[in-house]
């Protein structure tokens, strides 16, 4: 493609949510970040991205949620600017329209997945031929969860989440996600956690072995999120939702990320639908989804 050529185009991409199948905090690193150990899993709940490019010299975002930023504070806009900067291609101005279906402030990497979707779409449309690893390296400049969201699937993640080991696809299952009326500040929760005071840790080896064996029950019984033990009292509804999911038949349930969304794993659609219907009467943000495999780039 000629570097001085401006091309009007419209691109569409889906941005898939992620869950943490077990989340452990190992230590506080010298750089101030905490070292994490988790299995990340993508699910079918997704935002819808539409890029209209070729209209000016700036990029803005619009969403169905009016309180989200339109400019460079929006991670999808930053992703587009980073792509053009790193590839040397001329900046294609325009608008990124985002239909938000993934709940905001839920621990499901909605903003990170939007950014990753923008990188995928631009790489394909402009035939930049960036490999998956190159896209992931670029994505890390945007945030810790963005590299996983480039291709999704099932991966064991360490460090800030960016050191990934691809795993076989976990057994396909249904997921019910429920977010209480509040969000939880990630910096606040990290400030409260103390590695020496963690009493219960997820069995990450057991989760990985369950994935390798295709044993959903083994996986579900071992998921746990250490952040749940450090939730302040005002966030106790997280534990309430978790108990409700178990009582409604989930094989296992956990908060994802630093919350506030809670998910349950189900081995049949009917069971998941029944739990969803029950929770939907009490909680506005309730979703049903299925696990998804790694995207082919």
- Contact of 65 with 235, CB cutoff 8 Å: no
Separation between Cα atoms, residue 256 and residue 23, nearest integer Å: 8
Q: Strands 94-99 and 59-63, how do they pair?
A: parallel
Give catalytic status of residue 294 as yes or no.
no
| Catalytic position from the list 18, 179, 242, 244 | 18
Place of tokens 């795993």: 167
Give catalytic status of residue 24 as yes or no.
no
Report helix angle 110-125 to 132-140, nearest 10: 140
**Residue positions counted in the chain:** 297
CA distances from 250 to 84, 93, 223 (A): 44, 46, 12
> Is residue 222 exposed (0-12), middle (13-18) or buried (19+ Cβ within 10 Å)?
buried
| Catalytic position from the list 114, 145, 179, 244 | 145
110: phi > 0 → left, psi -120 to 50 → alpha, else beta; which?
alpha
Show which residues are catalytic: 18, 145
């Amino acid at each position: 493609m000629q570097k001085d050529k401006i091309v009007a185009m419209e691109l569409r991409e889906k941005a898939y949510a992620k869950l943490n199948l077990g989340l452990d905090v190992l230590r506080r690193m010298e750089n101030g970040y905490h070292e994490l150990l988790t299995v990340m899993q993508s699910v079918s709940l997704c935002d819808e991205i539409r890029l209209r490019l070729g209209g000016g010299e700036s990029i803005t975002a619009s969403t169905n949620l009016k309180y989200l930023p339109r400019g460079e504070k929006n991670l999808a806009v930053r992703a587009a600017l980073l792509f053009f900067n790193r590839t040397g291609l001329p900046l294609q101005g325009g608008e990124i329209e985002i239909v938000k279906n993934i709940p905001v402030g839920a621990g499901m990497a909605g903003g990170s997945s939007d950014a990753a979707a923008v990188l995928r779409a631009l790489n394909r449309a402009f035939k930049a031929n960036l490999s998956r690893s190159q896209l992931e390296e670029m994505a890390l400049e945007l945030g810790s969860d963005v590299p996983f969201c480039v291709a999704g699937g099932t991966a064991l993640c360490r460090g800030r989440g960016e050191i990934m080991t691809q795993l076989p696809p976990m057994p396909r299952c249904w997921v019910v996600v429920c977010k209480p009326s509040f969000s939880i500040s990630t910096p606040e929760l990290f400030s409260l956690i103390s590695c020496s005071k963690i009493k219960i840790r997820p069995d990450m080896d057991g989760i990985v072995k369950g994935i390798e064996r295709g044993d959903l029950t083994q996986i579900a019984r071992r998921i746990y999120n250490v952040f749940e033990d450090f939730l302040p009292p005002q966030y106790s509804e997280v534990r309430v939702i978790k108990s409700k999911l178990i009582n409604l038949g989930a094989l296992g349930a956990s908060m994802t990320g630093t919350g506030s969304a809670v998910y349950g794993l189900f081995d049949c659609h009917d069971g998941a639908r029944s739990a969803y219907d029950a929770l939907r009467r009490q909680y506005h943000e309730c979703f049903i989804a299925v696990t998804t495999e790694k995207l082919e780039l």
